Amino acid sequence: MAATGKIDPIPRGAHEERALESRRLHIGIPMLSARWHGGARVLLQLANHCVSRGHQVTILCPRGQFTSNYELDSRVTVRYLGSGWKILGYIGFMLSVPFVLPSDATAVANFFVTYLPVRLAALIRGTPYIYFVQDIECKYQGIGGWFLNRICKSTYADEHIVAANPHLADRLGREFGRRCESIQVGPAETFYRRPATRAKEFDVIYFLRRESWKGLDRFRKFVALAGRRLSVLCVSQDDQLLADMSREGVACRKPANDEELVDCIDSARVLLYTSYKEGFALPPLEAMARGVPPIMYRCGGPDIYVRHGVNSLYVQDETEAVAAVLRVIETRSLYEGLSAEAVATASQYRMEEGLERLLACLQHAAAAQMAGLPR
């Protein structure tokens, strides 16, 4: 290359990529459902965050499966695909996504079932995307589960993965040989901005989920052992589960938004968390943000922020869980110490910062695709 007398410190193509990264994006987010707390809720918060930054967002969802109570910005477009029949709707959804993603979209694959059509869109239409991994989803049982687990594991070889936290990034590296970017999700600002002044009505709050790895069996044993010694509140978006637990004499609520969820958390003294395996686990951090210390089983991801005996307590079985709850609520100094440390821990994990980093990953993916640069 001929000398010019001036050396540009920025590699060729980087100027163009930076300009592209500042452009307005059209972000496509396929979602199987928007009804539950967990990962779907993070995606809705991502959609809200992106439109607040001036970007366009289209959510694709099977017909009849977008029934979330959580707030969604009116500027977010929701498009329904497939029939109203659950299984046929899912099949129609997966077959449609590669072709109905907006032509200018940058896609967010967020679950191995949505990864497959997004990957197909990338192959046949050149759609830029990221694969946002919020958990290692290889948890299915039986012959069908073995097949699903094989498909799921194969997706973790993708080079466009963004992990929801450093723990998952480390697991992806160790278990699948895939180094990847990571962000750090956390509670929304609603969980921080309001002082906790509500009187305590319940000893325990429990996030009710039906997936086998969420530990509903542990919860039922806990309730049986606790008897009348402890009052329990269940929260969920699953109407059938709430009805089942109500018939068993447990208080149940279905929060309509984050404000109501905060009210529910504030009404309890401790959180019980029973999962067998989690990639991160947001509910314990949401409880911590409200000064409600978790009593929980070791399940992987929360090891990032849980400090046993400092901001939370780990237990090994239901008998120990009942004893731990009683000890915490009956020992004022222990409760106040755990509560104060829980709030301090949660303050380090704010959703806004994680969503901004995730948006930056989307901007980079779109810019690299347009500029023909490696990602």
Per-residue pLDDT of the chain (375 residues; tens, 9 = 90+): 333 333 333 344 554 445 545 689 999 999 988 766 668 888 999 999 999 999 999 999 988 777 766 788 999 999 998 776 777 778 888 899 999 999 999 999 998 889 999 999 999 999 999 999 988 876 667 777 778 888 888 999 999 999 998 888 998 999 898 889 999 888 888 899 888 777 899 999 999 998 888 999 999 999 999 999 999 999 998 899 999 999 999 999 999 888 999 999 999 999 999 999 887 888 999 999 999 999 999 998 898 899 999 999 999 999 999 999 999 999 999 999 999 999 999 999 888 889 999 999 999 999 988 876 555
Position 258 scores a pLDDT of 86
CA atoms of 237 and 219, how far apart (whole Å):
17
Listed in sequence order, the residues at least 6 apart from 337 whose beta carbon sits closer than 8 Å to its beta carbon are none
**Edge to edge, what strands does the sheet with 232-235 contain?**
251-253, 232-235, 202-207, 268-273, 294-297, 313-315
- Judging by beta carbons within 10 Å of its beta carbon (0-12, 13-18, 19+), is residue 358 exposed, middle or buried? buried
For 8, 104, 151, the CA distances from 140, given in Å and listed in that order, are 53, 35, 11
Buried b (16+ CB within 10 A) or exposed e, 17-40: beebbeeebbbbbbbbbbbbbbbb
Cβ proximity of 222 and 322 under 8 Å: yes
CA atoms of 362 and 360, how far apart (whole Å):
5
Give the start-to-end residue ranges of the domains of the chain: 25-186+352-371, 192-348
Position 91 scores a pLDDT of 84
Position 139 scores a pLDDT of 67
235, two tokens: 């929260």
Number of residues written out for the chain: 375
- pTM value surpassing 0.85: no
Question: Phi/psi of residue 110, each to 5°?
Answer: -135, 5
Chain centre distance of CA 91: 24
CA atoms of 40 and 110, how far apart (whole Å):
9
Question: Phi/psi of residue 235, each to 5°?
Answer: -125, 140
- Our separate counts of H helices and E strands in the chain read 14, 13
**Same fold for the pair 25-186+352-371 and 192-348:** yes
77, two tokens: 């477009």
91, two tokens: 């099949």
CATH number belonging to domain 25-186+352-371: 3.40.50.2000
Pick the CATH number of 192-348 from 3.30.230.70, 3.20.20.70, 3.40.50.2000, 3.30.420.40: 3.40.50.2000
